[in-house]
Amino acid sequence: MSTSKVYALDTSTLITVLRNILEVMKANEKYLTKLDADIGDADHGINMVRGFQKVMELINKENPSKLDAGRALQLTGMGLLQVVGGAAGPLYGMFFLEASKKVQGKKEITVKDFADVLEAGLKAVKMVGGGTVVGDKTMVDVLEPVVAKAKEIISKRDNVDFIELLEEIVPFAKECVLNTIPLQARKGRASYLGERSKNHQDPGATSTYLIIRTFYDTLKGTTGVKISEYDQATGKLLKEEPL
Ligand SMILES: [Mg+2]
């Protein structure tokens, strides 16, 4: 296992992360759509693929080697807002647009910036959702605990690098996804199902986890993972395999 420290994410690495997110969404398209079919409208997988395809198109249209981190995240938000329908477009779109403001004009993202970026994105998601809180069975169920944990780790330890931070954040984020299974949805289309939304893993929480974990996988030199086994009834993630 590599022990090299990563203290900053430069823009070209960030663009690699975004490209890998597209690959991860493609690999998990059917799974995400299955999760959304169970408690929503069966479009989350296709939406995420279409969204990140547009993101890469916008990034490639500009000179990627000249982009700064803020602009790359801004183009991500714009791409997602342009082509992703339903709730996911505005939620993820505003996540990245607000996040981008934290690193405007910066060539690289530090670990501290990363926590600020996630926190700004979280605030936007909560606002767009109309005051979403943890327990509503949404992507906030992953994002909010992850932001809190990242900030805690950074404040308590000196010189934390991305690998050390994400090594703790990724399994924690996965736990947060699994914690959505028993919940009754209080936001979004799933909330119309009432009690019947219980015992299903939330699709938005799942894609949020996959995005966070792709930062880690990219920094470790891999692309990301495909969820290769899941429980048919609940959608519970059982097994992941590297792409
Ligand atoms: Mg949907």
Dihedral, CA of residue 29, residue 163, residue 71 and residue 27, to nearest 10: -10
Give the pLDDT score at 4: 83
Calculate how far, in angstroms, residue 30's C-alpha sits from the geometric centre of ligand 1. 13
* Residue spans of the chain under pLDDT 50: 1
Calculate how far, in angstroms, residue 41's C-alpha sits from the geometric centre of ligand 1. 4
Calculate how far, in angstroms, residue 172's C-alpha sits from the geometric centre of ligand 1. 25
Give the pLDDT score at 3: 60
Calculate how far, in angstroms, residue 40's C-alpha sits from the geometric centre of ligand 1. 5
Calculate how far, in angstroms, residue 204's C-alpha sits from the geometric centre of ligand 1. 9
Calculate how far, in angstroms, residue 216's C-alpha sits from the geometric centre of ligand 1. 26
Calculate how far, in angstroms, residue 162's C-alpha sits from the geometric centre of ligand 1. 32
Indicate whether this model's pTM tops 0.95. Answer: yes
Q: How far apart are CA 75 and CA 233, in angstroms?
A: 37
Q: How far apart are CA 129 and CA 125, in angstroms?
A: 6
Q: How far apart are CA 67 and CA 11, in angstroms?
A: 7
Q: How far apart are CA 63 and CA 23, in angstroms?
A: 21
Calculate how far, in angstroms, residue 22's C-alpha sits from the geometric centre of ligand 1. 18
Pick the CATH number of 8-236 from 1.10.3720.10, 2.30.110.10, 1.25.40.340, 1.10.240.10: 1.25.40.340
Q: What is the pLDDT of residues 21-57, one digit of tens each?
A: 999 999 999 999 999 999 998 999 999 999 999 999 9
Calculate how far, in angstroms, residue 36's C-alpha sits from the geometric centre of ligand 1. 6
Calculate how far, in angstroms, residue 140's C-alpha sits from the geometric centre of ligand 1. 16
Helix orientation angle between 140-156 and 111-128, rounded to the nearest 10 degrees: 150
Residue 180, number of CB atoms within 10 A of its CB: 26
Calculate how far, in angstroms, residue 66's C-alpha sits from the geometric centre of ligand 1. 35
Calculate how far, in angstroms, residue 70's C-alpha sits from the geometric centre of ligand 1. 28
Helices (H) and strands (E) in the chain, counts: 9, 4
Calculate how far, in angstroms, residue 218's C-alpha sits from the geometric centre of ligand 1. 27
Give the pLDDT score at 193: 86
Q: Give how far the C-alpha of residue 202 lies from the chain's centroid of Cα atoms, to the nearest Å.
A: 13
Cβ atoms of residues 226 and 240 within 8 Å: yes
Count CA atoms closer than 13 A to 38's CA, side-chain side: 22
Calculate how far, in angstroms, residue 105's C-alpha sits from the geometric centre of ligand 1. 34
Cβ atoms of residues 66 and 220 within 8 Å: no
Give the pLDDT score at 24: 98
Calculate how far, in angstroms, residue 200's C-alpha sits from the geometric centre of ligand 1. 14
Closest alpha carbon to 89 in 132, 43, 145, 141:
43
Question: In degrees rounded to 5, what are phi and psi of residue 226?
Answer: -110, 135
Calculate how far, in angstroms, residue 130's C-alpha sits from the geometric centre of ligand 1. 17
